[in-house]
Amino acid sequence: MLIVADSKIPYLKGVLEPCADVRHLDPREITPETVRDADALIIRTRTKCDAALLAHSRVSVIATATIGIDHIDLDWCGKRGIVCRNAAGCNAASVAQYMTSALLRVSLRHNVDLRGKSLGVVGCGHVGSKVAAAAYALGMNVLVNDPPRARREGPSGFVTLETIQNEADFVTFHVPLTQAGPDRTEHLADEAFFRGLRKKPFFFNTSRGDVVDEPALKKAIIEGQISGAVLDVWHNEPEIDRELLSLVDFATPHIAGYSADGKANGTAMAVEVVAQGLHILEPDVIQQVRADILAKVPAPANPVVTLDAASANPIADAVLASYDVAADDAALRAAPENFEALRGSYRVRREFPAYTVKLSGCESDDSLLDALRKLGFRLD
């Protein structure tokens, strides 16, 4: 069995080698020639799997260690019996951590209290659900728009996009990129969307760059249709719009889901897909392999966060000690031409449960304790 794997996927080397020939290649080296004799691929979003890559190969299984799957031609692969799976939900907690940091950074910069404000969540699957839960922990109200879920589950608990346009103080997108059909999301945030916003909300996008019409977003910022913006994803990555970069509050190089925990989850899920698809590992062995991959994630450099009882915003102190979006923003602004390198060499970032918060005089603040627990921190 030959498995071709993206060499940038962490915690993968050595995992499947005992039962298969595994070739770890730079994404640029994954070509029709190098996959011709492969039985399976383990990839990321930078590898486009379509007829041009696979027409003359024997690939039968494709596992992408990402939640995105729009880089795979599912129709073409399906007609040829190629099993294609993504790592749905693998980095949902990572994106929720990013959004929590971004919301708090925006609130601090603009002196806006998040408590009681409404967050419109467009797309409430694995990621959007965790973002909504984090927003509740911060004391926000949440408006959920997800037409596919509303059709399956009934309208209760969901609102229209127009309701979000009318009522939201903050709007965040967590949808897949779809280019056709009733739930098309390409340029869902277009000029008409921004023109219809009534409360000049802050705008966030961590889904896909083409969900947003970038000229319309620039116009919305310049004309004051929104109060500010945070972007992690961009049209035409890695060649991003420098004018738009200068206009947004916080800008990052597509790393919202790049926690070490999320990466390990994605790798483990991809390994499981390939192991099952090629019948090279027994179920109990797969579970042990998953545990071994997750155990490879290093501890944070500073795993204990001590809160000051006199702090004006202890939740922000705890969150920003675990992850501060401002650091990634500064790195991108300093060298936007290094967009891809910033992703490829991204530091080890751990999610909230890897941190223990020492309360130091805050023990009697039940609302603080509840918020920290809901965000996922361990308490001491």
pLDDT at 233: 98
Secondary structure of residue 237 in the 3-state scheme = coil
Q: Which amino acid is at 350?
A: R
pLDDT at 161: 98
Output the CA–CA distances (angstroms, integers) from residue 346 to 18, 236, 342, in the order listed.
Answer: 29, 20, 6
Same topology, domains 2-90+260-295 and 92-251? Answer is yes
* Class for the domain spanning 92-251: alpha beta
pLDDT at 361: 75
254 is catalytic: yes
Contacts (Cβ under 8 Å, ≥6 apart) of 312: none
pLDDT at 79: 96
pLDDT at 70: 87
24 is catalytic: no
* pLDDT < 70: residue spans in the chain: 363-364
Q: Which fold has domain 2-90+260-295?
A: Rossmann fold (3.40.50)
Query: Using CA atoms, how far apart are residues 213 and 358, in angstroms rounded to an integer?
Result: 44
pLDDT at 308: 87
The CATH number assigned to the domain with range 304-379 reads 3.30.1370.170
pLDDT at 363: 67
pTM for the complete prediction?
A: 0.92
pLDDT at 266: 96
Q: Chain centroid to CA 122: how far?
A: 14
Q: In what order do the strands lie in the sheet with 21-25?
A: 21-25, 2-6, 40-43, 61-64, 83-85
Domain boundaries, the chain: 2-90+260-295, 92-251, 304-379
* Catalytic residue (choose from 24, 237, 340, 378): 237
pLDDT at 154: 96
* Catalytic residue (choose from 46, 254, 290, 350): 254
* Catalytic residue (choose from 44, 85, 208, 290): 208
pLDDT at 340: 93
pLDDT at 362: 73
56 is catalytic: no
